[in-house]
Amino acid sequence: MDWQELEAFRILAQELHFGRTAERLHLSRGRVSQLIKTLEHRIGAPLFDRTSRRVSLTPIGRRLFADLEPHHLGIVASLARATDAARGIGGTLAAGFSSPLAGEAILRIADAFRTDHPDCEVVVCEVQLSDRYGPLRAGALDLALIEFPVDEPDLVSGPAIFFDQRVLAVSAGHRLADRDAVSVEDLKGETSITIAGLPQYFLDAFIPSPSDGTRPIEAATSWQELLTLVAADRGVAVCAAQGADYYARPTITYLPFTDTAPVAYGLVWRSSGETAMVRAFTQTAVATSKTVR
C-alpha cells in the first residue's frame, strides 16, 4: 500500500474538493486524481462520487475513512513521541500563573501542548504576587505566565502572550466613582495600594505618575487585603481590567484609563533552565495566543 495514496484519500475525504486537496498536499490536481483512482483500483470499488459540481464519499469510502482515521492518528502520535524523545521533550513541566486570566490562558496552552507532545504532562499552580520569582528560582516552576516587565539578571523574559487594559479600582463612594473613565492626572493626591514585595522597577512601570510626580504607595500583603483597603477608601489601586470580572464587589468600582498602555503578560523562565520542553511550550503559547484576550 502506498502511503501517499492513503494520505490523498484522507485529505480528499475531509475537503471533498480536488483543488483544496492538491494545495494541502502540494501536488497537482491530476496527481491527486491519479492517486485516488489507483487506490480505488486496489480496493475494487469507487470511494468517491464525482460530478461537475460536487465530490462526496461513497458508503465504502465513508467506512474506509472511519476505519483509517484512528490508525493514522496513532501513527502521527508515535512519530511525535519519537521526535520529542530525540529532542529531549518529555516528562513533566511546571507552569505558573499570576492572575485568573493568565491561569485560563496557561490551561489552554497546556491542553494544546499535550496534544502536540503526548509524552509531556503540564502541572499548573498559582504564583503569588508577593513572591513572583521565588518558585522559578527555587526550581519549583519551569516557567510562569506573569505581568511584564521582568528585569532580573537570572531570568529570561519570553514573548508577550496577551494584553489586558489598565484600570483604576476605587471605593464605591470615592470622588471618581461616578466617572466613566479616568486619566493619569486623576491620580494626583491619591495613595496607590499595591502588593508588598513587588520590585521598584515594576511599580514604576505599572503605576503611572501624574504630572506633579507624586505617587504615594501603600503595600498590602495579599490581593484580598488590597481590595479590602480600596473598599474602605484607604487608597486606590491600578490593576488589570480582569479584576472587574473576577473580583467584582459592590463596594468597589473599576474605571478604565484613557491614557495608559495595556498590561502585557508573558512567559518567564530561568536563564539556566531553558530546556527543549520550555522552548516547545513557548512555541505552543505563541501559536495559541491569538485565541487569548
Same domain, 281 and 158: yes
Last residue of a domain, one of 85, 118, 136: 85
Query: What pLDDT does 71 receive?
Result: 80
**How far is Cα 94 from Cα 141, in angstroms, rounded to an integer?**
5
Last residue of a domain, one of 29, 56, 85: 85
**How far is Cα 124 from Cα 17, in angstroms, rounded to an integer?**
42
Query: What pLDDT does 64 receive?
Result: 92
All cell numbers assigned to 237: 489601586
- Report the CATH number at residue 17: 1.10.10.10
Query: What pLDDT does 290 receive?
Result: 60
Query: What pLDDT does 292 receive?
Result: 47
CA 127: distance to chain centroid?
Answer: 16
Q: Please check whether residue 155 is in contact with residue 136, taking contact to mean a CB–CB distance below 8 angstroms.
A: yes
Query: What pLDDT does 291 receive?
Result: 46
Asked whether the whole model's pTM tops 0.75, one would answer: no
CA distances from 274 to 122, 135, 144, 176 (A): 16, 15, 13, 46
Residues 6+ apart with CB under 8 A from 175: none
Same domain, 110 and 171: no
Last residue of a domain, one of 85, 111, 145: 85
Query: What pLDDT does 70 receive?
Result: 80
Same domain, 49 and 18: yes
Total domains in the chain come to 3
pLDDT tens-digit series, residues 203-218: 999 999 998 877 889 9
* Residues with pLDDT less than 70, the chain: 1, 73-74, 76-90, 290-293
